[in-house]
């Protein structure tokens, strides 16, 4: 008799909106090791507690996992110890630490109640945010293929923002670029300090590691997920070179030389061995001038890269550190110059690699965060 109600419940659950599915879904993060001890010389630094969502999985190296681990590695290398904490356990876990810094994400606030918000007020925190609520309706209109089923767009963002503001974080931040300031400036109108905090390269995973026999024959390669919003950019930038392009990643790319998914070691070796790694994001990424990890991790492997039209690139690389296309047509011209041997590939490999090593590792971001906290404390 117990089977029928279960089956009915399972059937009905499929038709629930995403916001309600999240409430019914019993999911816990999967940790391999949530602790990152401080490197010698940093043991007395403040502990960074990084709050992760129910879906965090340290075994699956998706983009969100890699950036979380990147900040954890960077802080432990330059500032102090780190621990990853499940968002549902913040009161219990944070209470165990003396004067920690709490690293949250706007998405964490969706499921937090008054008890958690009141608790967080007592601690120094900072948070990743998305475009301000005043701008996200326009953002959705201008980017119709992004956000389907995402609580940021459907039912979660306004309430989450109000909760975040109530906790009074030291600052809020985005991976976007300076040209997208209009999308984020209202956070400061709400009384919060806003920073553009870039992603970076994690040297634990990305470094020169050639595998010429395996990947040296590949003239051009791209690694990443395939979905309709990003496919708009791929059609503009990558499709014209489909005959020589080898693609990898999830999403079953509809390209001739799709090679499936790679693990991180294979990805690193591919970047270190292939002729050209184009740095292409998506229309929504261009809209936000968002500089994803790809712009840093491929150069960290000493890949030869040509970047797309992303205006955020100018925030992190100078004109003599990274080749950048003005548009898809210019990109094609640069690729054809490369294929004809008209570009000094080694020069650009070395310039981009040096830029990443000197400015764009996660320890550089950790020091930026530390400096913001110290500066704001002094001003206070």
One domain, residues 355 and 366: no
One domain, residues 189 and 281: no
Tens digit of pLDDT for each residue in 303-359? 999 999 999 999 999 999 999 999 999 999 999 999 999 999 999 999 999 999 999
Rounded CA separation 28/6 (Å)? 22
Does 57 have pLDDT greater than 50?
yes
> CA torsion sign, 100 to 106 to 108 to 112?
positive
One domain, residues 256 and 188: no
Average pLDDT over residues 278-296: 96
One domain, residues 373 and 264: no
Give the domain range for residue 315. Answer: 212-359
pLDDT of the residue at 112: 95
Rounded CA separation 290/178 (Å)? 9
Query: Looking at the domain assignment, is residue 122 inside a domain?
Result: yes
Q: Which residues of 298-329 are buried (b: 16+ CB within 10 A; e: fewer)?
A: bbbbbbbbbbbbbbbbbebbeeebbbbbeebe
**Other C-beta atoms within 10 Å of 91: how many?**
12
Query: Looking at the domain assignment, is residue 4 inside a domain?
Result: no
Q: Is 256 helix (H, G, I), strand (E, B) or coil?
A: coil
pLDDT of the residue at 10: 42
Query: Looking at the domain assignment, is residue 7 inside a domain?
Result: no
Rounded CA separation 174/199 (Å)? 9
- Per-residue pLDDT band for 14 (boundaries 50, 70, 90) equals very low
One domain, residues 241 and 259: yes
One domain, residues 108 and 176: yes
Residue 271 neighbours by CB under 8 Å, 6+ apart: 206, 221, 223, 277, 297, 298, 301, 302, 303
Does 122 have pLDDT greater than 80?
yes
One domain, residues 190 and 323: no
Query: Looking at the domain assignment, is residue 53 inside a domain?
Result: yes
Q: Which residues pair with 306 in a beta bridge?
A: 278, 323
Does 120 have pLDDT greater than 90?
yes
One domain, residues 181 and 292: no
pLDDT of the residue at 2: 39
Query: Looking at the domain assignment, is residue 8 inside a domain?
Result: no
Average pLDDT over residues 108-120: 95
Query: Looking at the domain assignment, is residue 315 inside a domain?
Result: yes
Average pLDDT over residues 251-269: 97
| pTM of the complete model beyond 0.85 | yes
One domain, residues 141 and 216: no
One domain, residues 92 and 121: yes
Does 201 have pLDDT greater than 80?
yes
Rounded CA separation 157/19 (Å)? 11
One domain, residues 48 and 194: yes
**What's the CATH code of the domain at 53?**
3.40.50
Query: Looking at the domain assignment, is residue 162 inside a domain?
Result: yes
Does 259 have pLDDT greater than 90?
yes
Q: Flag the least confident range among 43-52, 134-143, 285-294, 361-370.
A: 134-143
pLDDT of the residue at 367: 98
One domain, residues 182 and 266: no
What is the H or E stretch that residue 334 is in? helix 328-339
pLDDT of the residue at 151: 60
290, 266 contact by CB (below 8 A): no
pLDDT of the residue at 7: 44
What is the H or E stretch that residue 126 is in? strand 124-128
Tokens 């340290």 correspond to 58
What is the pLDDT of the chain when averaged over all its residues?
A: 91
pLDDT of the residue at 328: 98
pLDDT of the residue at 375: 87
**What's the CATH code of the domain at 350?**
3.40.50.2000
Q: Flag the least confident range among 150-159, 216-225, 247-256, 280-289.
A: 150-159
| The total number of structural domains that make up the chain | 2
Query: Looking at the domain assignment, is residue 1 inside a domain?
Result: no
What is the H or E stretch that residue 119 is in? helix 114-120
Average pLDDT over residues 207-213: 98
376, burial (CB in 10 Å: exposed 0-12, middle 13-18, buried 19+): middle
Give the CB-side neighbour count of residue 32, counting CA atoms within 13 A: 8
Does 50 have pLDDT greater than 50?
yes
Rounded CA separation 323/309 (Å)? 10
């Amino acid at each position: 008799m117990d089977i029928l109600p279960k089956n009915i419940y399972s059937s009905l659950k499929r038709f629930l909106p995403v916001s309600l599915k999240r409430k019914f879904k019993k999911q816990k993060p999967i940790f391999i090791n949530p602790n990152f001890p401080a490197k010698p010389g940093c043991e007395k630094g403040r502990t960074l507690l990084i709050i992760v969502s129910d879906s965090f999985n340290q075994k699956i190296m998706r983009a969100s996992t890699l950036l979380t681990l990147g900040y954890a590695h960077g802080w432990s290398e330059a500032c102090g110890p780190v621990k990853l904490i499940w968002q549902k356990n913040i009161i219990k876990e944070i209470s165990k630490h003396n004067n920690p810094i709490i690293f949250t994400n706007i998405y964490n606030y969706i499921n937090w109640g008054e008890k958690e918000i009141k608790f967080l007020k007592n601690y120094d925190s900072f948070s990743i945010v998305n475009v301000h609520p005043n701008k996200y309706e326009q953002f959705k209109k201008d980017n119709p293929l992004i956000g389907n089923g995402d609580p940021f767009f459907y039912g979660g963002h306004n309430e989450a923002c109000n909760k975040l503001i109530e906790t009074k974080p030291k600052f809020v931040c985005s991976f976007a670029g300076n040209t997208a300031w209009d999308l984020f400036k209202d956070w400061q109108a709400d009384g919060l300090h806003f920073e553009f905090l870039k992603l970076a390269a994690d040297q634990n995973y990305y470094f020169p590691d050639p595998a010429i026999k395996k990947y040296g024959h590949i003239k051009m390669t791209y690694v990443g997920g395939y979905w309709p919003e990003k496919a708009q950019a791929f059609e503009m930038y990558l499709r014209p070179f489909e005959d020589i392009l080898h693609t990898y990643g999830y999403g079953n790319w509809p390209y001739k030389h799709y090679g499936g998914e790679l693990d991180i070691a294979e990805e690193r070796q591919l970047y270190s061995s292939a002729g050209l790694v184009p740095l292409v994001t998506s229309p929504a990424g261009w809209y936000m001038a968002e500089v994803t990890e790809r712009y840093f991790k491929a150069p960290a492997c000493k890949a030869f890269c040509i970047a797309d039209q992303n205006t955020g690139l100018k925030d992190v690389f100078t004109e003599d550190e990274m080749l950048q296309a003005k548009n898809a047509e210019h990109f094609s011209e640069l690729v054809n110059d490369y294929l004809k041997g008209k570009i000094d590939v080694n020069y650009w490999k070395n310039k981009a690699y040096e830029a990443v090593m000197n400015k764009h590792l996660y320890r550089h971001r950790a020091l930026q965060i530390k400096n913001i906290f110290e500066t704001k404390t002094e001003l206070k």
